[in-house]
């Protein structure tokens, strides 16, 4: 194995006292260097899974390994290399942003006290809150709290960031900044596991993804593979009639969609050959698009129903 | 972790507001006693208040007697009930636990903050009362309580013992509050549960039918701190009171620990 797993679960299962089977035999594998998208609709079991990874909830059965060490309620030590943001940030509202981070830095096996203030300043600057660090958190806007939450997760420069719905409450500008920051962090060697119910958002940046539905993993793969071409190309041409006639003589399955567009199933053959054939027949090709699924398409296909928010 | 928890306690405005209110009430009582010259007769009203007109040095003990039956237990219930449930309601519990802070360590730190609050409160109340007592009533070379006469130094020693005993007496309630606080994500519910335990104990302590269990109630020996002002000190009841507290602390800390170290944190 060339890359090691930073999160590895085996048949992770949680049945709540109410009888609800929230997580059902989940095998997650997040590898070093991944920007890992953990996807699924609200209520699919993402948060329960993440809470089990972070030793907040005891699994009914199955195991969790984080950064190569087993995590249980009684031995959360592996989490020392993990920065977290779970279900929104939370702070002591009567204290300043900076003081809040000092408290979180000092809790658990914190870094050296000597450099605490400097560490706190660094992360506050990194998330762009340097101007308001000394204001009490109760005066912060939702977006500022979200940034402070991220700053808190970045204390002690974690090897792994586990972020649950980190873009909640941010505006378009904030979401864009966050995305850029994630990409930078991964480039610097941090692994990020990021949950979201917004598939399109994850599609933009993630390198690997797992999809969850009703407590089970329905897909887990490199995003590149999940979004592999479907084998169909879509051709737009003002000469549709002649194009269809040409296709009738050819080996490919095809379906016209509208007066100027036709879909052709070319399988794994090169689309440029089709283009060349058309051009040689003097059929004008305005556009040739290789069809790829969106993550949403993949999700709907794997779950077999269309209920995603 | 203990240092962090203490910083949170001491930097929280509520802590100091609570202590200020606890200290203020006896001072108000003292001012009225002084202004009217009317102290309760011996055996009536808060313990020792009857004696302070003659001697300000006894005012700290009288002040503690004023807050002991109701206000101090309420404060302990509120602060103790907030320890874990307050973090849960606030959402910060999950961030402390994933730092990670071991659950036993967090509970220990919370226990230390409750104990710190209790002793901080009684000491501040006693100091404020001492200042107020000296200003309002002056110092008399001899404290006489009923038939007992104590020198200022003896009065000081006895008051220290009383402070220690009263703080100690709150530990049982503090442990109950900590336990309640691990059972719920609502600090209000935890505080009210603790208050219910306190009121229940007081009720059972009042009626004759429950006489057989009264020595085992957490509040039964609270007011026996006056025994420190006898000469010689009457140790029997205060010793029993101290032991009863230890039993409550052991039982409810054990329950809190068993509960907190195994529970799912979904807040």
Candidate ranges B34-38, B210-214, B247-251; pick with highest mean pLDDT: B247-251
Which of B3, B13, B262 is facing A58, going by the closest CB pair? B262
Contact A108 B100 (CB under 8 A): yes
Model confidence over A227-256: pLDDT tens digits? 888 899 999 999 999 999 989 988 899 999
pLDDT category of residue A308 using cuts at 50, 70 and 90: very low
Contact A57 B98 (CB under 8 A): no
State the average pLDDT for chain B: 91
For residue B267, is it within any domain? no
Q: Write down the pLDDT at residue A2.
A: 47
Is the pLDDT at B39 greater than 80? The verdict is no
Task: Kindly report, as residue ranges, where domains of CATH 3.30.70 are found in chain A.
Answer: 232-291
> Which residues 6+ apart lie within 8 Å of A110 measured at CB?
A116, A156, B99
Is the pLDDT at A110 greater than 80? The verdict is no
H-type alpha helices, chain B = 2-11, 13-36, 59-67, 71-90, 92-97, 103-137, 152-169, 171-183, 187-206, 235-260
How would you label B197-217 residue by residue, b for 16+ Cβ within 10 Å and e otherwise?
Answer: bbeebbebbeeeeeeeebeeb
Closest B-chain CA to A94: B12
For residue B100, say if its preceding peptide bond is cis, omega within 30 degrees of 0.
Answer: yes
Of 3.30.70, 3.40.50, 1.10.8, 1.10.3470, which CATH number belongs to A232-291? 3.30.70
For residue B16, is it within any domain? yes
Q: Are A13 and A25 in contact (CB under 8 A)?
A: yes
State the average pLDDT for chain A: 89
Q: Write down the pLDDT at residue B146.
A: 65
Contact B11 A95 (CB under 8 A): yes
Task: Kindly report, as residue ranges, where domains of CATH 3.40.50.300 are found in chain A.
Answer: 5-224
Residues of A with CB under 8 A from a CB of B: 16, 51, 54-58, 73-74, 76-77, 79-80, 82, 84, 86-95, 99, 103-104, 106-110, 152
Of 3.40.250.10, 3.20.20.100, 3.40.50.300, 3.30.70.260, which CATH number belongs to A5-224? 3.40.50.300
Q: Are A179 and A204 in contact (CB under 8 A)?
A: yes
Q: Which two tokens stand for residue B190?
A: 């935890």
pLDDT category of residue A304 using cuts at 50, 70 and 90: confident
Residue A69 DSSP one-character state? E
Q: Are A263 and A233 in contact (CB under 8 A)?
A: yes
Q: Torsion angle of alpha carbons B164, B168, B169, B172, nearest 10°? A: 170
Whole-number Å distance between alpha carbons of A291 and A270: 13
> Which residues does chain A have within 8 Å of residue B94's beta carbon, measured at their own beta carbons?
51, 54, 56, 84, 86-87, 90
DSSP track, B66-111:
HHTTTHHHHHHHHHHHHHHHHHHHHTHHHHHHTTT--HHHHHHHHH
Contact B95 A94 (CB under 8 A): no
For residue B266, is it within any domain? no
The order of strands in the sheet holding A287-290 is A253-258, A261-265, A232-236, A287-290
Which of A58, A79, A88 is facing B98, going by the closest CB pair? A79
Pairing state of beta strands A35-39 and A208-213?
A: parallel
Q: Taking residues B222-236, what's their average pLDDT?
A: 88
Closest B-chain CA to A100: B8
Q: Taking residues A106-117, what's their average pLDDT?
A: 82
- Alpha carbon distances (Å) from B220 to B62, B169, B170, B209, B242: 19, 10, 12, 15, 11
Is the pLDDT at A305 greater than 70? The verdict is no
Pairing state of beta strands A232-236 and A287-290?
A: antiparallel
For residue B265, is it within any domain? no
Candidate ranges A165-169, A272-276, B44-48, B249-253; pick with highest mean pLDDT: B249-253
For residue B46, is it within any domain? yes
Q: Which two tokens stand for residue B209?
A: 């039918």
* Total number of domains in chain B: 1
User: Among B86, B98, B257, which would you mutate to test the A interface (most chain A Cβ atoms within 10 Å of its Cβ)?
Assistant: B98
Give residue B44's domain range.
2-260
Contact B12 A106 (CB under 8 A): no
Length of chain A in terms of residues written: 309
Closest A-chain CA to B6: A103
| Beta carbons within 10 angstroms of residue A55's beta carbon | 24
Model confidence over B86-124: pLDDT tens digits? 999 999 999 999 989 999 999 999 999 999 999 999 999
Pairing state of beta strands A191-196 and A35-39?
A: parallel
For residue B205, is it within any domain? yes
The SS3 of residue A97 is helix
Selection from A47, A67, A44 nearest residue A57 by Cα: A47
> Which residues does chain B have within 8 Å of residue A54's beta carbon, measured at their own beta carbons?
94, 97-98
Which of A90, A94, A99 is facing B95, going by the closest CB pair? A90
Q: Which of the two residues, A301 and B80, has the higher pLDDT score?
A: B80
Contact B265 A51 (CB under 8 A): yes
B178 to chain A, minimum CA–CA distance in Å?
A: 19
Residue with tokens 């208050």: B195
Q: Are A64 and A52 in contact (CB under 8 A)?
A: yes
A99 to chain B, minimum CA–CA distance in Å?
A: 10
> Which residues does chain B have within 8 Å of residue A13's beta carbon, measured at their own beta carbons?
none
């Amino acid at each position: 194995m060339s890359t090691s797993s930073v999160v590895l679960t085996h048949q992770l299962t949680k049945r709540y006292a109410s009888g609800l089977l929230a997580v059902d035999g989940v095998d997650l594998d997040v590898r070093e260097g991944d920007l890992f998208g953990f996807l699924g609709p609200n209520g699919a079991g993402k948060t329960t899974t993440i809470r089990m990874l972070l030793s907040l909830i005891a699994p009914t059965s199955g195991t969790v390994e984080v950064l190569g060490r087993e995590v249980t309620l009684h031995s959360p030590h592996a989490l020392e290399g993990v920065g977290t943001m779970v279900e929104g940030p939370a702070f002591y509202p009567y204290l300043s942003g900076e003081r809040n981070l000092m408290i979180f830095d000092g809790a658990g096996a914190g870094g050296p006290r000597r450099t605490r203030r400097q560490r706190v300043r660094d992360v506050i600057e990194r998330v762009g809150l340097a101007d308001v660090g000394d204001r009490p958190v109760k005066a912060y806007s939702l977006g500022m709290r979200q940034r402070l939450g991220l700053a808190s997760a970045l204390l002690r420069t974690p090897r792994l960031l586990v972020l649950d719905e980190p873009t909640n409450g941010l505006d378009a500008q904030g979401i864009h900044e966050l995305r850029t920051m994630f990409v930078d962090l991964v480039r610097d060697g941090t692994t990020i596991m990021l949950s979201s119910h917004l598939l399109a958002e994850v599609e933009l940046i993630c390198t690997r993804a797992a999809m969850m539905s009703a407590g089970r993993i329905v897909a887990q793969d490199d995003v590149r593979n999940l979004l592999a071409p479907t084998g169909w190309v879509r051709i737009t041409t003002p000469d549709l009639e002649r194009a269809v006639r040409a296709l009738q003589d050819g080996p490919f399955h095809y379906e016209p969609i509208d007066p100027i567009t036709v879909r052709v199933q070319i399988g794994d053959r090169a689309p440029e050959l089709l283009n060349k054939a058309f051009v040689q027949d003097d059929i004008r090709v305005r556009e040739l698009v290789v069809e790829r699924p969106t993550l949403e398409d993949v999700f709907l296909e794997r779950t077999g129903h269309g209920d995603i928010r | 972790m203990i240092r962090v928890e203490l910083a949170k306690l001491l930097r929280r405005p509520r802590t100091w507001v609570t202590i200020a209110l606890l200290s203020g009430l006896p001072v108000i009582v003292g001012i009225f006693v002084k202004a009217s010259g009317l102290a309760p007769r011996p055996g009536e009203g808060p313990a020792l208040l009857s004696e302070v007109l003659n001697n300000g040095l006894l005012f700290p003990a009288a002040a503690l007697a004023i807050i002991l039956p109701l206000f101090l237990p309420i404060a302990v219930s509120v602060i103790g009930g907030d320890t874990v449930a307050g973090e849960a309601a606030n959402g910060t519990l999950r961030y402390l636990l994933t730092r990670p802070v071991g659950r036993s360590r967090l509970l220990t730190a919370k226990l230390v903050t409750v104990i710190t609050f209790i002793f901080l409160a009684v000491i501040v109340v006693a100091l404020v009362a001492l200042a107020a007592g000296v200003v309002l009533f002056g110092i008399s070379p001899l404290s006489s309580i009923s038939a007992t006469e104590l020198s200022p130094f003896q009065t000081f020693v006895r008051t220290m013992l009383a402070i220690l005993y009263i703080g100690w007496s709150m530990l049982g309630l503090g442990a109950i509050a900590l336990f309640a606080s691990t059972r719920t994500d609502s600090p209000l519910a935890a505080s009210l549960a603790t208050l219910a335990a306190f009121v229940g104990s007081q009720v059972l302590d009042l009626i004759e039918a429950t006489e057989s269990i009264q020595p085992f109630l957490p509040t039964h020996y609270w007011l026996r701190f006056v025994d420190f002002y006898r000469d010689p000190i009457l140790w029997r009841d205060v010793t029993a009171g101290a032991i009863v507290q230890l039993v409550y602390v052991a039982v409810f800390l054990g329950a809190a620990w068993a509960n907190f170290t195994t529970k799912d944190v979904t807040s």
